[in-house]
Amino acid sequence: MFPKRFVLKRLLLLVPVLIGVATLVFSILHLSPGDPALTIAGERASQEFVERIRADLGLNDPIWVQYIDFLGNVARFDFGESYVINRNTTVREVLSNTLPVTLELALYGQLFGILFGIPLGVLSAVKQDTITDHATRVGALAGISVPIFWSGPLLILLFAQVLGVFPTSGRISSSFSVSAIRVTGMVTIDTLIAGEWDMFRSAVRHMLLPSLVIGIYSMALISRMMRSSMLEVVRQDYMRTARAKGQGAKITILKHGFRNALIPVITIIGIQFGGLLGGAVLTETVFAIGGIGTLLVEAIEVGDYPIVQGTVLTFAFLFTLVNLVVDITYSYLDPRIQQ
């Protein structure tokens, strides 16, 4: 029953996606101003030193040779060493430290958004044009309108500063060391595996506000989408027929409409995952959580090209994988997709 060929085909498509993104990143970095050799050497370095770095990096080769080399490196997921941010550390290592941080944040945020967004959307549709509906819609609109870099500080202010119930920043209390129990790199999971309950509690308390901030936005989008999709389905003929047969309207909606209404929403969840990664960049900055998002911003600012290349390709890889998962879910709900 499991659509093996479908999944295989989709996994194979990762290859052109990654080559495409790699080519784009390569071209954009080449077209943008700034000399990598000068970035590494620093402004005051001697001309010879800059020249030597340039030769080391292969920047004297024609661009097409550099491009082929770069594609080869991408295939091995090897972007060399960081120029500025973490000197003498491979990009792979930097990424393996920061990626789980962002993943953890995005997963909890997405979970929050789905768990609350879908019921709210259904509720809003079922109670269309009542106070509940209006309140939900305005709430969702406000959720989209309030920027993460304002709601985050507000929550910090309220829960961390005034009430003092949650920590203001970071991932876990600084009195704990998580490096010893590192398995996945996600603190809430690692501490759970190790059975360190105090550390686990601390990690959860640290994760709560950031996940909430990122989740509110996701929830607002999902509930809006769910509402309109639900209304759309309800208006279709077979729903009218079902109602005419005398079943209670609300039960009909829940039983028949929900599954069909979910289909487009699931696609949107996949597409919107990219937006979630964008939100993670801002959330990490607000809560001083060193994830892949802040890494990307910093790398662009200081011109750390290997890090930029590594992060962007990781983002593309993640985005594609999430959409693959979404599509598999989707193909169960709507078997026509499998062909």
336 binds another protein (CB under 8 A): yes
Q: Determine which residue in the list 161, 177, 184, 247 makes contact with another protein, applying CB under 8 A.
A: 161
Q: How far is the CB of 148 from another protein (least distance, A)?
A: 8
7 binds another protein (CB under 8 A): no
Q: Determine which residue in the list 1, 2, 31, 174 makes contact with another protein, applying CB under 8 A.
A: 31
Q: Binding to another protein (CB under 8 A): which residues in 82-111? A: none
253 binds another protein (CB under 8 A): yes
Q: In three state form, how does the secondary structure of the chain look?
A: CCCHHHHHHHHHCHHHHHHHHHHHHHHHHHHCCCCHHHHHHCCCCCHHHHHHHHHHHCCCCCHHHHHHHHHHHHHCCCCCECCCCCCCCEHHHHHHHHHHHHHHHHHHHHHHHHHHHHHHHHHHHHCCCCHHHHHHHHHHHHHHHCCHHHHHHHHHHHHHHHCCCCCCCCCCCCCCCCHHHCCCCCHHHHHHHHCCHHHHHHHHHHHHHHHHHHHHHHHHHHHHHHHHHHHHHHCCHHHHHHHHCCCCHHHHHHHHHHHHHHHHHHHHHHHHHHHHHHHHHHHHHHHCCCCHHHHHHHHHHHCCHHHHHHHHHHHHHHHHHHHHHHHHHHHHHCHHHHC
Q: How far is the CB of 223 from another protein (least distance, A)?
A: 14
Tell me the site size for another protein, rule CB under 8 A. Answer: 85
Closest CA to 258 of 229, 221, 219, 225: 229
Q: Cβ closer to another protein: 37 or 126?
A: 126
Q: How far is the CB of 50 from another protein (least distance, A)?
A: 18
131 binds another protein (CB under 8 A): no
164 binds another protein (CB under 8 A): no
Q: How far is the CB of 275 from another protein (least distance, A)?
A: 5
Q: Binding to another protein (CB under 8 A): which residues in 210-249? A: 228-229, 231-232, 234-235, 249
CB-facing half-sphere around the CA of 235: CA atoms within 13 A: 8
Q: Determine which residue in the list 145, 174, 175, 179 makes contact with another protein, applying CB under 8 A.
A: 145
Q: Binding to another protein (CB under 8 A): which residues in 260-319? A: 263-264, 267-268, 270-271, 274-275, 277-279, 281-282, 285-286, 296-297, 300-301, 312, 315, 319
Q: Determine which residue in the list 94, 106, 125, 214 makes contact with another protein, applying CB under 8 A.
A: 125
Q: Determine which residue in the list 153, 170, 185, 290 makes contact with another protein, applying CB under 8 A.
A: 153
Would you give the binding string for another protein spanning residues 60-79, x where CB under 8 A is met? --xxx--x------------
Q: How far is the CB of 15 from another protein (least distance, A)?
A: 8
